[in-house]
Structure 1
Amino acid sequence: MTAVDLPAVPRVLIAEADPWSRDLLKQVLLNVRCDARLDVCADGQHAATLLGEKTYDLILADWELPGVDGLSLLRSVRQKRRSLPFILLSSRNDSASVREALPLAPTAYLTRPLNMESLTQRLQDLLLNEGESVYCEIPPLAPGMTLPTFLERRREVCDGAPLRVDVKAAVQRSLGPEGLDLKQLEGQVHSDPQITAVLIAAANSAGYHGTPVQTLSEALHKLVPGQSMNLILGLALKHNVVLGDPGLVAYAERHWQLSQDSADYARRLARMLELDHERCYSACILHRLGDLALLRCLEDWRQGGGALDDQTIGESLDAFGAAYGSALRTRWRLPLELRQLIAGIYSLEGGVYSREALVVNLAVQMARLTEHEGLEELAGSKTARLLKVGLPELTRVRKT
């Protein structure tokens, strides 16, 4: 495909089995051509069916697709359209695999972890004329749309929370002479609920096996450094990852701070009690994810022409925040053990709870106290008694 035969609006097929890699490819492509007509699938047979039904201007396919693999798709395409741009993605970087693919003339053969700059440049060359850029207006709200209906519809498809951390700066500060320093990167992004959730979810996706990952540190070490970096940078490409409305920003800052204070208290309490402090930290940093995701959807509402004020924001959080959090944790398939620990933050009614669940519940209660409120009542609570934590211990945790 050359500049003279570019379609007005290109149709693109992405075939990628891993959901987080699939989402990353989608975001990189839409960042280049936000108007692209995009079909996305997770297996080779579905991709083959789509190729038989539609005419595409570009295909991105993973060699390791289940069913019909990406190389077989490329072979089938080349039998019909020799010049159709086809980017083959693969974890195979050995010379034998390259020699097997090259006779089928892929437009590009990209190995994982992907070089994001190289991928972006190739997509720009294939989907844009020289000097061209594409601007996509934000679509207005449908006539008669109410905010409760809008939020109810968005609950199952929302992209998560806005970003607290400047991801480009965080990655840049974590790059050293020998590549990405995972410990440094963890220190840069550990306060961001969205990054934490996405990396944990990605590390537990179908492409990775073994013990469920429940902390940011575990996720960073299970994902290869390049994949971690790509997923983090890919988050910055998404719509409304930075809030623009001052009222929404103020609410987000409060939820971020509550999450951070809770997580810090949980880590200290857990260490004092010789429990899994990183799991407790993780649960607390994620427990306001739904409220933050809702704020991001309210930004979409505002940009679509909807009215927004402080009362509306507060009422929306009360009505939908918990449901958004539950939907996200389920849809992103966060480990059941981590979800149960987060649930312990909100309720300890009935049942038998782990000591870690008691820790996170107590930590959030501490974080909600103002600086002028004492710890005496909290020290006498059922949660503190079950943990055998008194006023001296809580005072030490607060002052640490």
Structure 2
Amino acid sequence: MPQSQRVPRVIIGEADRWTADLICQLVRSARCDADIVALGDGASVLQQCRQASPQLLIVDFGLPGIGGLDLLREVRRQKAQPPLPFFLITEKIDASSVRAAAPLAPTAYLAKPFDAEDLLRRLRQVLLQPGEEVSCPLPELAPQESLDQYLDKARETAAGAPLLNQVHETLELLHGPATPDLDELERRFHNDPQLTAQLIAAANSAAEHRGSGCQSLAQALHRLGTKHSLNLALGLALQRGASLDDPLLMAAGLKIWAQSQRLAELAHWLASRLGADAERCFTAGLLHRLGDLALLRTLQDWHGRGGALDEAQLEAALHKHAAPFGSALRTRWRLPLELRQLIAAVYQLGSGVYSREALVLNLAAQAAPLDAGQSFAPLAEHKSARMLHLDAATLEQLPRLTDVR
């Protein structure tokens, strides 16, 4: 990057982690080299501003401690010329709130849930000069760093899985003039593990938490609403590595996606027959290999930074690192404990009393690898089938191929 270019410092004040992550991603999409500081309370924002003046502030009106309006008032007292760009994001769109902010001249007054594409356009206007382009190649690997070392280091900060190509295509269609309804969003998004997991996590965040926890995509969509759900999906699609482009990794990803979908559909079918919670079972089945997919995305970064990668290394990495990656993601995103327990049941049943849903997931995991020419009848001897009182004739009715719901 030429020395004449100044790396902009952007301070984000937003208490909700998922909204803050979305804004961070939009800033990176507008200006990939931006120095971003994301904070969850007003006092910390003010302290950071005093330490080093930012080139842009993006603050929630209802920020804990010193609120967004008071921060805007403090910034305007400094009488900087030209005025410091300040985006105020708020749920307060009543006339009195707008009148209170207007004399302080916020650069943008954006209602929550904001339009992500509109915010991205505004960010580009503030952070880029006309005609300016900034590129940010991946940094090179540390000297002598092995693949295992790289993956161990990346595990706790991994962004998650790539998105299915159909999600990218769907987002282009859904950001048109007609607003899709929630049923359409569920139909278009329900096969994607990454999007499902992050929307569930966002719906269970402190900012959104109302009543019992969400454990399915449909529940998450209804809690978040159409606009916020679309914003979060767009933020995921804009992330680096959101698509797999390496042929070796793409082939592995397609196989894992198919296996996840197969298990999810079998779990849904069994749960529906047994009066169990079919949507929770489908979700757990879909997410059970989230760690494998997140690992593929991290391996793409490794390869992009100049690291060697062949089929043998890929298989070894999946065997050693996929489970820890998945566990770290589910914990860091604070997915509901009940959902994590169902995912664990795919691999083994713990001790104690088993829920019907856990038995369904465990049995679906035994059925999923069987191909069209193999009989499901022998599964009647499996522990989960016996406890669910499923006979060979019933098991033979299991769908042979994944059917899109």
* TM-score calculated relative to the size of structure 1: 0.95
Which residue in 2 is equivalent to 1:108?
Answer: 108
Q: Give the equivalent residue in structure 2 for 1:38.
A: 36
In the alignment, what sits opposite 2:137? Answer: 137
The code of the aligned residue for 2:278 comes to H
The CA distance in 1 between the partners of 2:145 and 2:263, in whole Å, is 37
In structure 2, give the amino acid aligned to 1:305. Answer: G
Distance in 2 between the 1:224 and 1:100 partners? 28
Residue 178 of structure 1 and its aligned partner are, at CA, apart by 6.0
Q: Find the counterpart in structure 1 of residue 19 from structure 2.
A: 21
User: In 2, Cα distance between the equivalents of 1:353 and 1:9?
Assistant: 55
2: CA distance, partners of 1:292 / 1:379: 31
DSSP-derived class of the 1:139 partner: coil
**Contact 1:16–1:22 at 8 Å: present in 2 too?**
yes
Q: 2:125: which partner in 1?
A: 125
Contact 2:13-2:45 within 8 A present in 1 as well: yes
Are 2:173 and 1:159 aligned?
no
Quick one: structure 1 residues 11 and 79, their matched pair in 2 at CA, closer, same or farther if it must change by over 3 Å?
same
Deviations 1:159-210 (CA, angstroms, capped at 9, x unpaired): 1001014334324545787622111111111000000001000000011122
Residue in structure 1 matched with residue 69 of structure 2 by the alignment: 71
Q: Which residue matches 1:333?
A: 334
Report the 3-state secondary structure (helix = DSSP H, G, I; strand = E; otherwise coil) of the residue aligned with 1:396. Answer: coil
- Cα offset, 1:322, TM superposition: 0.6
Residue in structure 2 matched with residue 396 of structure 1 by the alignment: 397
Q: Offset of 1:265 from its aligned partner?
A: 0.5
In 1, distance between residues paired with 2:144 and 2:31?
A: 30
Q: Deviations over 1:115-135 (max 9, x none)?
A: 122211211111111111111
| Structure 1 alignment gaps of length 5 or more | 1-5
CA contact (8 A) 1:165 1:189 kept: no
Which deviates more, 326-335 or 162-171? Answer: 162-171
Q: Deviations over 1:263-303 (max 9, x none)?
A: 11111100100111000001000100011000100001000
State the distance in 1 between where 2:184 and 2:198 align: 18
Partner of 2:277: 276
Could you tell me how far apart the structure 1 residues matched to 2:93 and 2:275 are? 44
Matching of residues 195-344 of structure 1 within 5 Å: 195-209=195-209, 210-344=211-345
In the TM superposition, what is the alpha-carbon distance from 1:370 to its structure 2 partner? 2.7
Over 3 Å counting, the alpha-carbon distance change for 1:286 and 1:106 in structure 2 is same
Q: Take 1:299 and 1:174, find their aligned partners in 2: how far apart are those partners?
A: 28
The letter for the 2-side match of 1:389 is: L
- TM-aligned CA deviation for residue 72 of structure 1: 1.2
Q: CA deviation at 1:376?
A: 3.0
Residue aligned with 2:368, SS = helix
The amino acid that maps onto 1:136 is C
C-alpha deviation, 1:374, in angstroms: 2.2
Q: Give the Cα–Cα distance (whole angstroms) in 2 for the partners of residues 87 and 290 of structure 1.
A: 36
CA contact (8 A) 1:171 1:185 kept: no
How many angstroms apart in 1 are the aligned matches of 2:159 and 2:79? 36
CA–CA separation in structure 1 for the residues paired with 2:179 and 2:157: 35
- The 3-state SS of whatever aligns with 1:267 is helix
* Alpha-carbon spacing, 1:178–1:130, altered in 2? closer, same or farther (3 Å): closer
- The equivalent position to 2:46 in structure 1, one of 48, 69, 75, is 48
Is 1:148 the counterpart of 2:148? The answer is yes
What is the one-letter code of the residue matched to 1:257?
A
SS at match of 2:11: strand
Distance in 2 (CA, whole Å) between partners of 1:376 and 1:273 is 17
How many equivalent pairs are there?
395
In structure 2, give the amino acid aligned to 1:80: Q
- Identify the residue that residue 3 of structure 1 maps to in structure 2: none
Change (3 A) 1:326 1:80: same
Deviations 1:54-103 (A, max 9, x none): 11111111111111111111111111144111111101111111001111
**Aligned mates of 2:162, 2:175 — CA distance in 1:** 24
CA RMSD of aligned residues (A): 1.6
The alignment-based identity, stated in percent, is 48
Q: Which residue of 1 aligns with 2:78?
A: 80
CA separation in 2, counterparts of 1:137 and 1:199?
29
Distance 1:291 1:212 in 2: 25
Check whether the contact 1:74–1:86 (CA below 8 A) recurs between aligned residues: yes
Instruction: Give the deviation of 1:220 after TM superposition.
Output: 0.3
Question: TM-score normalized by structure 2?
Answer: 0.94
Contact 2:182–2:225 (Cα < 8 Å) also in 1 = no
Give the stretch that moved more between structures: 313-322 or 42-51: 42-51
Distance 1:175 1:335 in 2: 30
User: Are residues 339 and 273 of structure 1, via their aligned partners in 2, closer, same or farther at CA, if it must alter by over 3 Å?
Assistant: same
Per-residue deviation at 1:343?
1.0
Of stretches 240-249 and 74-83 in structure 1, the one that deviates more from structure 2 is 74-83
Q: Distance in 2 between matches of 1:185 and 1:118?
A: 21
Partner-residue secondary structure (3-state), 1:145: coil
One-letter identity of the residue aligned with 1:271:
S
The match for 1:374 is 375
Superposed CA offset, 1:326-349 (max 9, x none): 110110000111111111111114
The 10-residue stretch of structure 1 (371-380 or 168-177) with the greater mean CA deviation from structure 2:
168-177
The answer for the alignment partner of 2:185 in structure 1 is 185
- Conserved 8 A contact 1:170-1:185: no
